[in-house]
Structure 1
Amino acid sequence: MRKLFVILIATLLGQLHLQAQGYQVTVKLKNFTGGKFFLAHYMGRSTYLADSATVSPAGEAVLKGATPLLPGIYLLVLPGKEKYIEALIDKQQFFSVSIDTSDLINKTVYKGSPDNDLFLSYNKFLFQQETLSRSIQQQLQAAHTAADTARVLPLQKELGQKIQHFRTDFVAKHPGNILSTIFLAMKEPEVPQQPAGEDSSFAYRYFKGHYWDEVDLQSDRLVRTPILEGKLKKYFTQLVPASPDSIVVECDALIARTRKSKEVFKYVLWWLTYNYESSPYMGMDAVFVHLVEKYYVPGEAFWLNDEQLNKIVDRAYTMAPNLIGKQAAPLEFKDTASHMLSLYKTQSKYTILVFWDPTCGHCKTELPRLDSAFKASWKNKDVAMIGVKTEGTREEWLQFIKEHNLSGWVHGSDPQSATNYRRLYDVYSTPMIYLLDEKKKIVAKRLGVEQLQEFLDRVSVKNDAVKR
Structure 2
Amino acid sequence: MRKLIMILAFVCCCIQLQAQGYQLTVQLKQYKEGRIYLAHYMGKNFYMADSALLNPQGVAVMKGKENLPGGIYILLLPGKQRYFEMLLDNKDQQFSITADTTDLITKTVFKTSAENELFQSYNKFLTKDITALGKEIESRIAAHTAADSALATEKQAELRKKLQDYRNDLIAQHPKSLLSSIFRAMKEPEVPPTPAGADSTFPYRYYKTHYWDNVNLGDGRLVRTNVIESKLQRYFTQLVPLDPDSINVECDNIIAKARKDKEMFKFVLWWLTYNYETSKYMGMDAVFVHLVEKYYVAGDAYWLNDEQLNKVIARAYAMAPNLIGQQAPPLEVKDSLMKPVSLYTTKSKYTVLVFWDPTCGHCKIEIPKLDSAYKASWKNKGVTMIGFKTEGTREEWQNFIKEHDLSGWMHVWDPNAQSNFRRLYDVYSTPVLYLLDEKKKILAKRLGVEQLDEFLEKSEVKNGAVQNK
TM normalised by structure 1 equals 0.92
Contact 2:19 2:66 in 1 (8 A): no
Deviations 1:87-107, CA, capped at 9 Å, x for gaps = 110021111111111111222
**Unmatched tracts of structure 1, length 5 or more:** 1-18
The residue number in structure 2 matching 1:206 is 206
Q: SS of 2:208's equivalent?
A: helix
The residue number in structure 1 matching 2:134 is 133
Distance in 1, Cα, partners of 2:369 & 2:39: 50
Deviations 1:207-255, CA, capped at 9 Å, x for gaps = 0001001001012120000000000000000000110000000000000
Judge which range, 169-178 or 317-326, deviates more.
169-178
Contact 2:370 2:449 in 1 (8 A): yes
The residue number in structure 2 matching 1:322 is 322
The residue number in structure 1 matching 2:11 is none
After TM superposition, list the pairs within 5 Å mapping 1:39-438 onto structure 2: 39-90=38-89, 91-128=91-128, 129-134=130-135, 136-137=137-138, 152-438=152-438
Judge which range, 201-210 or 371-380, deviates more.
371-380
TM normalised by structure 2 equals 0.92
Distance in 1, Cα, partners of 2:146 & 2:413: 63
Judge which range, 131-140 or 411-420, deviates more.
131-140
The residue number in structure 1 matching 2:6 is none
Distance in 2, Cα, partners of 1:274 & 1:258: 17
Kindly state the Cα deviation for residue 32 of structure 1 after the two structures are TM-superposed: 1.8
Kindly state the Cα deviation for residue 402 of structure 1 after the two structures are TM-superposed: 1.1
Letter in 1 for 2:24: V
Deviations 1:287-326, CA, capped at 9 Å, x for gaps = 0000001100111111111111110000000000001112
Judge which range, 423-432 or 333-342, deviates more.
333-342
Distance in 2, Cα, partners of 1:138 & 1:320: 57
Judge which range, 124-133 or 83-92, deviates more.
124-133
The residue number in structure 2 matching 1:11 is none
Distance in 2, Cα, partners of 1:209 & 1:134: 35
Kindly state the Cα deviation for residue 33 of structure 1 after the two structures are TM-superposed: 1.8
Letter in 1 for 2:134: S
Runs (4+) of structure 1 exceeding 6 A deviation are 143-148
Kindly state the Cα deviation for residue 149 of structure 1 after the two structures are TM-superposed: 5.7
The residue number in structure 2 matching 1:451 is 451
Give me the identity figure in percent: 65
Judge which range, 423-432 or 271-280, deviates more.
423-432
Judge which range, 230-239 or 334-343, deviates more.
334-343
Q: SS of 1:450's equivalent?
A: helix
Letter in 2 for 1:278: T
The residue number in structure 1 matching 2:33 is 34
Judge which range, 228-237 or 174-183, deviates more.
174-183
Judge which range, 74-83 or 153-162, deviates more.
153-162
Deviations 1:410-456, CA, capped at 9 Å, x for gaps = 00112443211111100112111001111111111111222222222
Distance in 2, Cα, partners of 1:397 & 1:136: 67
Kindly state the Cα deviation for residue 144 of structure 1 after the two structures are TM-superposed: 6.8
Letter in 2 for 1:285: D
Distance in 2, Cα, partners of 1:190 & 1:157: 14
Q: SS of 1:300's equivalent?
A: coil
Kindly state the Cα deviation for residue 463 of structure 1 after the two structures are TM-superposed: 3.0
Q: State the structure with more CA Rg.
A: 1
Deviations 1:173-219, CA, capped at 9 Å, x for gaps = 22121101000001110001111221111111110001001001012
Letter in 1 for 2:273: T
Letter in 2 for 1:35: G
Letter in 1 for 2:84: I
Distance in 1, Cα, partners of 2:326 & 2:466: 25
Distance in 2, Cα, partners of 1:462 & 1:95: 66
Letter in 2 for 1:68: N
Question: CA distance change for structure 1 residues 109 and 390 in 2, over 3 Å: closer, same or farther?
Answer: same
Contact 2:386 2:409 in 1 (8 A): yes
- CA RMSD across the alignment: 1.9
Distance in 1, Cα, partners of 2:392 & 2:165: 67
**Unmatched tracts of structure 2, length 5 or more:** 1-17
Contact 2:208 2:239 in 1 (8 A): yes
Contact 2:19 2:65 in 1 (8 A): no
Distance in 2, Cα, partners of 1:134 & 1:359: 61
Question: CA distance change for structure 1 residues 218 and 461 in 2, over 3 Å: closer, same or farther?
Answer: same
Question: CA distance change for structure 1 residues 45 and 465 in 2, over 3 Å: closer, same or farther?
Answer: closer
Tell me how many residue pairs correspond in the alignment: 449
Higher relative CO (CA 8 A, sep ≥ 6), structure 1 or 2? 2
Distance in 2, Cα, partners of 1:99 & 1:110: 9
Distance in 2, Cα, partners of 1:148 & 1:370: 58
Distance in 1, Cα, partners of 2:119 & 2:318: 48
